[in-house]
Amino acid sequence: MLSTPLPPDAAYAALQAHDARFDGRLYVGVTSTGIYCRPVCRVRLPRRENCRFFSTAAQAEAERFRPCMKCRPELAPRALPWTTMDASRTLAAQAAAWLDDCDDADASVEHLARHLGITSRHLRRIFQAEHGVSPLQYLQTRRLLLAKALLTDSALPVQEVAHAAGFASLRRFNAAFVEHYRLQPTALRRAGREAGNAGPAPRLRLSYRQPYDVTGVLAFLAPRAITGVEEVGAGAVTRTLALSHAGRRHAGWLRVSFGKPGEVGVELSPTLWPAAGALLPLLRRWLDL
């Protein structure tokens, strides 16, 4: 039985209450539909006996559940920091953080093990014990969920989505997407458009867990804005930047706006869309999401 932040009955109560405190820390797989959701999802409440609870999206996908098209698990805020009870849990948390930020299509367990200074066998053992999936399963879930967000919210061609999400080739991306989601990437893009997930202009969305001091964050950034680089005002921050992704340098502008509670809208210049995979973890850290 995989560990979750709550016992199953308490997790079901959190689902009934749409408790946002567990958003990003708890996922529910519904056996009658094969779909997994966030606890804040507003679809019809499933029956208790049809629910299976997980701590991460990777665990749900390892059990062959597909992400919900309504609540979109890829938008969930990241889990709160792990408590450092012992060295193994600390290493497993560091490994997950490295994989969250990884934009190398050739990344491997051996690369990660060398980064942490442990053997790949030990890494696999502690990671499976802590997260319930292997490191590569965890990484693939992150890549697929990023690809899902880009397919739904951006106009990037499918091949560029594959590379932006960290896949080495379009063939590998298509195979992984069909295997996990039983859906072609182009079909998901059409479904997203029909569901109204995409706005009039391509933009990504990031979620944060309430409470979040939007006014305080903007008040902190405003006096530190660099003239000609950053501008803060009207609930938004605009800035220029350059970064490397998949061996290439990308430069352009971005705008983050705090509109709907619990959500940050991210607009990018066309030159930055291919680097979204490297940019999103930086934005989460920058805004403390």
For position 196, what pLDDT does the model report? 52
Helix (H) or strand (E) holding 151: helix 135-153
Task: Give pLDDT, residue 247.
Answer: 80
198 pLDDT band, cuts 50/70/90, is: very low
**What does the pLDDT look like over 65-122, one tens digit per residue?**
999 999 999 989 876 554 444 578 788 888 988 888 777 767 788 989 998 888 999 9
pLDDT mean over 181-204: 71
In order, the DSSP letters of 36-72 are EE-TT--SPPPPGGGEEEESSHHHHHHTT-EE-TTT-
Q: Whole-model pTM above 0.75?
A: no
Tokens of residue 256, six digits: 């983050």
Strand order in 248-258's β-sheet? 204-207, 263-268, 248-258, 236-245, 230-233
Residue 238 β-bridge partners: 231, 255
**Amino acid 246: pLDDT:** 75
The pLDDT tens digits for 122-142 are 999 999 988 899 999 999 999
Q: How many CB atoms lie within 10 A of CB 200?
A: 5
Does the pLDDT of residue 172 top 90, yes or no? yes
Which token pair is 202?
């391509």
Q: What is the pLDDT of residues 216-231, one digit of tens each?
A: 999 999 999 999 999 9
The whole-chain average pLDDT of the chain stands at 87
Summary count for the chain: helices (H), strands (E): 11, 9
The closest of 223, 226, 234 to 265, measured between CA atoms, is 234
pLDDT number for residue 195: 55
Q: Which tokens in the block code for residue 94?
A: 């560091």
How far apart are alpha carbons 121 and 123 in whole angstroms? 5
Nearest to 36 by CA among 19, 53, 14: 53
CB 177 within 8 A of CB 189: no
Q: Does pLDDT of 12 surpass 90? A: yes
Q: Compute, in degrees rounded to 10, the torsion defined by CA atoms 187, 73, 157, 236.
A: 140
Which phi and psi (to 5°) does residue 76 adopt? -65, 145
Give 13's pLDDT tier (boundaries 50, 70, 90). Answer: very high
Q: Residue 202 above 90 pLDDT?
A: no
Whose CA is closest to 16, among 61, 54, 51?
A: 51
Asked if residue 211 has a cis previous peptide bond (ω within 30° of 0), the answer is yes
Cα–Cα distance between 170 and 193 in angstroms, integer? 22
Query: How much is the pLDDT for 103?
Result: 72
Residues 124, 109: contact at Cβ < 8 Å?
Answer: yes
Cβ pair 28, 40 in contact under 8 A? no
CA 154, CA 201: separation in Å to the nearest integer?
Answer: 8
Residue 199 pLDDT exceeds 50:
no
